[in-house]
Structure 1
Amino acid sequence: MMPLPWRRSVRGRLLLLILTPILLTLAALIALTAYWTTTYTNRQLYMKVASDLAVARSTLQLMQDRQLENLELLGHTWSLPPYLLHHDRGALNALLQDMKSRYRVDFLRILSPDELLDLASTPSGTQTNVNRLLGGNSIKGLSVLTPSEMNEIDPDLPQKALTQIIQTPRAKPTDRTFEDRGMFVRTLHPILDANGQLLYVLDAGLMLNNNLEFVDQIRDLVYGQDALPERGIGTVTLFLGDTRITTNVPVDLNYDLSDTGFIRAIGTRISSEVHNRVFVEERIWLDRAFVVSDWFISAYEPLYGLNNELIGVLYAGFSESPFFEMYLRTLGEMGLTLTFVLLISAILVWRSANHLFHPIQRIHTSVMAVRSGSNQTRIGQLRNEDEFSDLAHQFDSMLDELDARQETIRQAAERLEQKVKERTLSLQLKTEALEESLELLKATRAELFTKEKLAVLGELTAGIAHEINNPAAVILGHMDLLQSELGPSASLVQEEIDTVIEQVYRIRAIINNLLQYSRPGQVIDQLHTLAVNDVVKDTLALVRHALDKKCIQVQQNYEYLGEIEGNRQQLQQVLINLLLNAANAMPAAGNIWVSTHAWTTHDGAPGVEIRIRDEGVGISEDVQARIFEPFFTTRENGNGLGLSISRSLARRYGGDITVSSTLDTGSQFSIFLREKAVINQEDEETMRQLLSGFGVV
């Protein structure tokens, strides 16, 4: 491909050389300006919308405070005759209607103590709130009432609260067509007699469904004149669940801002992104969001009811498009200004280049002649005594010295090539040494990581040993007391009592074994001759209830008929852990295979292999590589210690635990134990040091 003509010209190259930094500066300036403008503007917009949301929240809180003040004032100044409360309901209702109009609420009623107790069984009531009212404390906040609750208060309320749900872009799919619940600013104020006894409770509520005055008041307060750019729209919304029950968000953003009769987006729903943040994570949304039909700078905040349940969302925000238009206009004006400056600079550079490059043209002619093979060509003396004259002189001198230096360069090249070969060989050797060091570093790091986990395990074991022994003693004492109190009747549950006592002793034995990790020479005293098959059968009886609960059948096969040297409680602990893990790995009913087989160690010593195989979901290769690490777990409620402790117990006596698994097929854990236990002194010493470091000695 032939180069462009201007690229073959020195003038063109000089122009490009000079203009390139200017162009790069222009691009960087525009990019930085865009970044700074966006960052600063977004920060200011999000700070503003957060402030707007705070005003909306304060206004809602103020409504609650004023309603409570009105009821407190009414309670202080209003003495209710007993006959109105208990006999003349007609006169009482007329009186309440007058008070309701005066205090501008949607309902006002009086609850007797008996009616107050019935409130605890309604969806919007709890026993905690009833107890607070009985204790003389007022309750205020937001409350959601069902149609049946509203109908019981006032038959007109359900129809007033009814809101048709409108299909909304970017909202989660729903089959609901109406929102028939009502959200109220609700206050319950107890009236006490002179002795502090509850006479009755004033219950008042202001419905927020279709309450345009609430949202318009906040909008006028926050987004008044000149608060937003031209065509900017400020909005406030109250959601019941994910449905707008009152809002000044318009359905059509192109409406005339001076028109107060625009169609409001009541009945539309919140976008799925905001739904996940507010309703699932229960966090405040402070970002741009899609609102009905356009993007808004938005702030959403969860709303909680009197029972501390999430009932809705409070929203404040304003349209994004006016700010985006201002942003684009600013960038356009800056771009035009810088482009004009760049054009003027290019013209000046081109004119100066014509005067500057006449001497360069002569130098260029001589250089091209040398390039074509004429070693005798020289530039000669130039008319101007400047840098170009010095350049010409130096160029001529260079040509004179060029031939003399060719041989020197060739010899230097040969020496350099030899040195490169030597340095390359040295570098290869150092690289190999470095790779070996890295492998050693990785292994050392993995070892340190495991030791840190074991240190944490030692601390945890010390705490468990200290905290469990006392409750175990209390359980044994109470079981003795229970057996004594039951007398002859204890025979009916004697098996269950013996099982509880046996398991408590097993717990204490496990704790004692954990503590003995730090006592040299005492582990051998805990070893006994065990009939492996009997231990397995007894263990299955202990977990039978858990397996039957999941409809899991255990298939047993005992090929090994010998005995081993070990600790019964520790072996049962390992078996229980593996059996329960197998059950948890099976999402439905199925089979677990338990079998024993003769096994021989690598040094020829006899032993037994206990296999536990399930039909679970299986274990991936990545998880298999880490499954025995302390604190590694894939279960939400797991602690990652079961398999680690189980393998540690097996290895302590010269055995081991292995796993093989296939995804969607199942897993098999194998426990290998010697007939004659061989204490792992290194593991024993490590565990003693860990536990003694945390005071368990």
Structure 2
Amino acid sequence: MSLSWRQSVRGRLVFLILTPILLTLLALIALTTYWTRTYTDRQLYMKVASDLAVARSTLQLMQERQLEHLHFLAQAFELTELDSATLARWQEVYGLDYLRLLPSSAQHSLTSSLPSSAERLHTQLQAGEALRGLSVLSAQELASEFPHLVAAARVEILDTPRARPSDAREETRAMFVRSLYPLRDAQGEVQAWLDAGVLMNHNLEFVDQIRDLVYGRDALPSRGIGTVTLFLDEVRISTNVPRHLEDEDFIRAIGTRISADVAVRVLDQQAVWLDRAFVVSDWFISAYEPLYDLQGELIGMLYAGFSEGPFVEMYRKTLGELGITLLLILLVSAVLVWRSAYALFAPIRHIHRSVLAVQSGDSSVRIGPLKHQDELALLAQEFDSMLDELDARQEHIRQAAERLEQKVTERTASLQEKTAELEASIELLKATRAELFTKEKLAVLGELTAGIAHEINNPAAVILGHMDLLLAELGEDAQPVQEEIDTVIEQVYRIQAIINNLLQYSRPGQMIDQLHQMEVNRVVKDTLSLVRHALEKKGIQVLESYQAQGEIEGNRQQLQQVLVNLLLNAAHALPEQGGEIRLSTQPWLSKTGTEGVEICVQDNGCGMPAEVAARIFEPFYTTRENGNGLGLSISQSLVRRYGGDLCVESKLGVGSRFCIHLHRQAQINPEDEATMQQLLSGLGVV
């Protein structure tokens, strides 16, 4: 009786070996596909979001520089010197599309053209404040005020796949980056306005500059295309998106319109789009955000993105190569296993033939003593001797088992002790790792604050210098506005104090020298007066309770900085109007029995889930769209530097309670300060 290869031992062995290998390979392919796709998509969306942020920053920087140019003209020239020739010359120098001087009487026309909803803009114009931002002029306004820009602003609207139906064939409106700067006389009255603008219709330099910055060499795969676009409503007025991705001749898709699904999301719902989208002729990894003019009206969109095709091609190529490699491995393994099994089971085939002969009824066939000393003869002889040894070994095994059980008990107790020590070491390692991770983030924050402080101190010094010059020039004439001038100077010094705190935060070793005695209740009351106007504006009621006594050692300005941050965070957690904040101080004892003070800020707002409350003190972690995730991290670090702590208790839907614990005498930790200083020095912050 012959057996098929599926019934043979060799066939079953090959099947048992190859089945786990095949299942493992299939699982590996599936997991690789999932992980690759998930990780790739997340990275692509993170990159395009970063690209959009660069585009947004470039647009804001363009506005700020334009306003700086007007500020320079206002400082460098008298009003009578700003004739048409001078304005034309500086218009060319600054690359402006128009630069004009409006009389102070034009302020009425500026404010009258604004909707009643633009209250902030009304207030700024009436107060004579400088303005910058985006502005859209209709075809009639453009022809009336800037007829030389009518042709340059005109955009032919093209039929675009996947766009919403529209009968419009031409866009005649113009989008400008616009700035208004007041010119004042010696008494501070606005005599005229400097009005400047750059036309964004067909402004290729703007979008190409951002593209070259974000999508430079080696930023994208081969044949990958990075693009930036400025929209007026749904129409592309400035872009480097090609009309047809496969065309050899690069033709910009100016005049094409956005796809319908993106238009609904960004223009109708005024939300940010961060996903793949169909752009003119192909799919792109895209990021869109709405744009608003000086009046706060939605006027268009800003876009950044790159072609999806090269990434899909790389993804498919990688999966194909992986699949082919794994199939080759499986095929080679099958051949090797089959050949090895054939040689391995050669002696068994002889025994199998003998057994089959006995089963067929041939009683004369015996395995018994064999004349030839082959494998089966040796097996038969060893089998008999093995039975004799079996009893002796069984007794030996029983005795060994008893000894083994005793050793296992001893080893188990020792292992449990070692396990407990290992668990403690792991917990310590986790805590140390988390602390190091936080300090690495703080190192980056230190470098950032040092740069910001340098940039802000310069204009603050300029303001103080000009205020001194203004007082010297006005002399006794400054008496009517002396209180306002003193307020400006006081606020500038306050800015410098805040900047100094930031610098000290990036150089923690210098903070120990700024300790002094202060009355906690007085500091809390003074801090509340700083933010009371903002709280009353939202209709928030503050319930005060001051039970702490005496003074503590600390830094007044840094404590105020922490309290302002907690009060404003509490205000953000409350509804648009109304709500309640409880502000209290009371005595406090540390775990070691050291006396101190507890300052609590409690709100009845939305509260936080446990997973959010566990991370709010991490640097750069935030749940607000316009937050930076630094306020609570800096606040906790400031409190801990003096031996105190900042903790939170929160319940979702009920509210949050932040408590500051401070010792009567500051307890500086020199080892922690030295470690932080060494870490920041290694990163080039200190």
TM-score in terms of structure 1 length: 0.49
**Which amino acid in 2 is paired with 1:143?**
I
Aligned position for 1:280: 273
1:560 aligned residue: 548
Paired position in structure 2 for 1:650? 639
**Is 1:360 the equivalent of 2:374?**
no
Is 1:18 the equivalent of 2:18?
no
Instruction: Give the deviation of 1:408 after TM superposition.
Output: 2.4
Give, in angstroms, the shift of residue 181 of structure 1.
3.4
The equivalent of 1:234 in structure 2 is none
- Gap change, CA 1:554 and 1:307, over 3 Å in 2: closer
The one-character-per-residue Cα deviations of 1:552-603 (angstroms, maximum 9, x if unpaired) are 2322233335333332211211111111111122242212121222334455
Match of 1:406 among 388, 391, 397: 391
Q: State the AA in 2 paired with 1:584.
A: H
1:124/1:307 contact within 8 Å kept: no
CA displacement at 1:641 relative to structure 2: 2.5
- Retained in 2: the 8 A contact 1:566–1:677? yes
Shift of 1:505: 1.8
Correspondence for 2:403 among 418, 443, 456: 418
Does structure 1 retain, via aligned residues, the 8 Å contact 2:648–2:656?
Answer: yes
Q: Find 2:602's aligned residue among 613, 616, 630.
A: 613
* 1:1-51 deviations in Å (ceiling 9; x for gaps): xxxxx9xx977973585378589989969x99xx99xx9xxxxxxxxxxxx
Alignment counterpart, residue 467 of structure 1, candidates 455, 462, 471? 455
Instruction: Provide the secondary structure at the position in 1 that maps to 2:403.
Output: helix
Alpha-carbon distance between aligned partners in 2 of 1:21 and 1:687, rounded to the nearest angstrom:
61
Please tell me whether the aligned partners of residues 616 and 632 of structure 2 are also in contact (alpha carbons under 8 angstroms): yes
Q: Give the aligned partner of residue 430 of structure 2.
A: 442
CA contact (8 A) 1:531 1:563 kept: yes
Superposed, 1:591-670 pairs within 5 Å as: 591-602=580-591, 605-670=594-659
Match in the other structure for 1:672: 661
Secondary structure in 2 matching 1:281: strand
- Amino acid aligned to 1:391: L
Percent identity, aligned pairs only, is 48
Correspondence for 1:394? 379
Aligned equivalents of 1:124 and 1:360: distance in 2?
107
Q: Contact between 1:120 and 1:126, CA under 8 Å: does it hold in 2? A: no
Tell me by how many angstroms 1:630 deviates: 3.2
Q: 1:604 to 1:17 in 2, by over 3 A?
A: closer
Residue type at the aligned position of 2:617: F
Measured after TM superposition, the shift of residue 668 of structure 1 is: 1.2
Q: 1:143 aligns with which of 147, 153, 157?
A: 157
| Secondary structure of the corresponding residue to residue 595 of structure 1 | strand
Distance 1:439 1:280 in 2: 42
Is the Cα–Cα contact under 8 Å of residues 518 and 556 in structure 2 kept in the other structure?
yes
Say whether residues 1:542 and 2:542 are aligned partners. Answer: no
Aligned mates of 2:631, 2:571 — CA distance in 1: 14
1:671 CA drift (Å): 1.9
Task: Evaluate the alpha carbon distance shift between residue 123 and residue 668 of structure 1 in structure 2; reply closer, same or farther with a 3 A threshold.
Answer: farther
Structure 2 length-normalised TM: 0.50
* 1:668 partner SS: strand
In structure 2, relative to structure 1, the CA distance for the partners of 1:458 and 1:519 (3 Å cut) is closer
CA separation of 1:511/1:284 partners in 2, compared to 1, >3 Å: closer, same or farther?
Answer: closer
Which consecutive unaligned segments of at least 5 residues does structure 1 have? 1-5, 40-117, 146-160, 166-175, 189-217, 222-237, 245-268, 287-297, 317-348, 370-376
> Deviation at 1:660?
1.4
d(CA) in 1 for partners of 2:646 and 2:591? 15
CA offsets 1:64-109 (integer angstroms, 9 cap, x no match): xxxxxxxxxxxxxxxxxxxxxxxxxxxxxxxxxxxxxxxxxxxxxx
1:564-579 map, 5 Å: 564-579=552-567
Question: In the alignment, is residue 121 of structure 1 matched against residue 106 of structure 2?
Answer: no
Structure 2 residue matching 1:626: 3-state secondary structure:
coil
Alignment CA distance shift 1:395-1:478 (3 Å): farther
Asked whether the 8 Å contact 1:595–1:611 carries over to 2, the reply is yes
Of 588, 594, 601, the match for 2:576:
588
CA gap 1:696/1:465 in 2 versus in 1, 3 angstroms: farther
| Alignment-mate amino acid for residue 121 of structure 1 | S
Cα pair distance change 1:657/1:495, threshold 3 Å: farther
State the 1:411 CA deviation. Answer: 0.8
| Other structure's SS at 2:157 match | strand
In the alignment, the residues of structure 2 paired with residue 493 and residue 558 of structure 1 have an alpha-carbon distance, to the nearest angstrom, of 37
Distance in 1 (CA, whole Å) between partners of 2:368 and 2:457 is 105
Quick one: distance in 2 between partners of 1:457 and 1:674?
Answer: 27
Q: CA deviation at 1:674?
A: 3.5
Q: Which secondary structure does the structure 2 equivalent of 1:14 belong to?
A: coil
8 Å Cα contact 1:593-1:614 kept in structure 2: yes
Provide the C-alpha distance between the structure 2 equivalents of 1:315 and 1:404, rounded to a whole number of angstroms. Answer: 74
Q: CA deviation at 1:661?
A: 1.4
1:162-207 Cα offsets, whole Å, 9 max, x none, are x9x9xxxxxxxxxx9x944346799x9xxxxxxxxxxxxxxxxxxx
CA RMSD of aligned residues (A): 5.9
CA deviation vs aligned residue, 1:463-504 (integer Å, no higher than 9, x gap): 344333222212322344455667778666655544443333
d(CA) in 1 for partners of 2:550, 2:434? 39
| CA distance in 2: counterparts of 1:307 and 1:271, whole angstroms | 13
> Which residue identity does 2:599 align to in structure 1?
I
Aligned partner of residue 619 in structure 1, secondary structure: coil
> Per-residue displacement from partner, 1:582-630 (whole Å, max 9, x unpaired)?
1122242212121222334455554432221112221222333333333
Shift of 1:666: 0.8
Decide whether aligned partners of structure 1 residues 620 and 119 sit closer, same or farther in structure 2, where only a CA change above 3 A counts.
closer
- In structure 1, C-alpha distance between the alignment counterparts of 2:608 and 2:538, rounded to whole Å: 20
Contact 1:596 1:608 in 2 (8 A): yes
Instruction: Tell which structure's C-alpha radius of gyration is larger.
Output: 1
Do the aligned partners of residues 654 and 420 (structure 1) sit closer, same or farther apart at CA in structure 2, a change above 3 Å counting?
same
Give the residue type in structure 2 aligned to 1:629: E
**CA–CA separation in structure 2 for the residues paired with 1:309 and 1:692:** 40
Instruction: List runs of 5+ in structure 2 lacking aligned partners.
Output: 34-134, 175-243, 248-254, 289-298, 310-341, 343-347
Distance 1:560 1:398 in 2: 92
Q: 1:481 to 1:181 in 2, by over 3 A?
A: farther
Question: 3-state SS of the aligned residue for 1:632?
Answer: coil
Q: Which residue identity lines up with residue 581 of structure 1 in the other structure?
A: N
Query: Is the alpha carbon distance of 1:143 and 1:531 closer, same or farther for their aligned partners in structure 2, counting shifts above 3 Å?
Result: same
SS at match of 2:614: helix
